[in-house]
Amino acid sequence: MHLSVNKQFLLGMGKQIDREFFKARVTGIPSPRAEDPPEEWLKFLRTHPSNWPIGVRKQSNGDVVLSGLIARRTLAHTRPLLQSSSLIRQQFINAMLSLFTMKEHHRKLANRLAL
C-alpha cells in the first residue's frame, strides 16, 4: 500500500505540476512561481484549497504537511524539463520511487557512494 500511494503521488505529480505553472492569476494571492519557496506555496494553498497538489497530505487542521510540500517542490526542481521526452520523465519518476519508497534505500546508496 505504501508503495502504491507514493507511486500515485509521483505519477500524478508531472501532470499536476505542469498545470500549476501555467495557471492564470486568480483573485487574492497569485499562483506561486516555480522558484518560489515552499512557504509561498503554503500561503497560496491556504487561500486556494481547490488547487491542492496531488500527493501532498493535509494535517488534521486542514493545513499542508510542510515536509511533503518541500519534497514536492524539490522534486519539481530536479525533474527533467518539460521539453524532455515522456520516457525520460518516466525513468526519472521510477528512479525516485526506487530511492524513496524502499526503507533506507537512499541512505544505503548515499553511504555506498560516499556522499
Q: Write out pLDDT tens, residues 55-66.
A: 788 889 888 888
Q: Where does the pLDDT of residue 22 fall: very low under 50, low under 70, confident under 90, or very high at 90 and above?
A: very low
- Average pLDDT across the chain, whole number: 75
For residue 18, the model assigns a pLDDT of: 47
For residue 28, the model assigns a pLDDT of: 66
Question: Which sequence spans correspond to the domains of the chain?
Answer: 2-112
Instruction: Give the mean pLDDT of 100-112.
Output: 79
For residue 7, the model assigns a pLDDT of: 54
For residue 13, the model assigns a pLDDT of: 54
Nearest to 68 by CA among 3, 6, 1, 4: 6
As given in the structure block, the three cell numbers for residue 52 are: 491542492
Output the CA torsion 8→35→38→109 (10° steps): 60
Residue 35 CB-half CA count within 13 A: 0
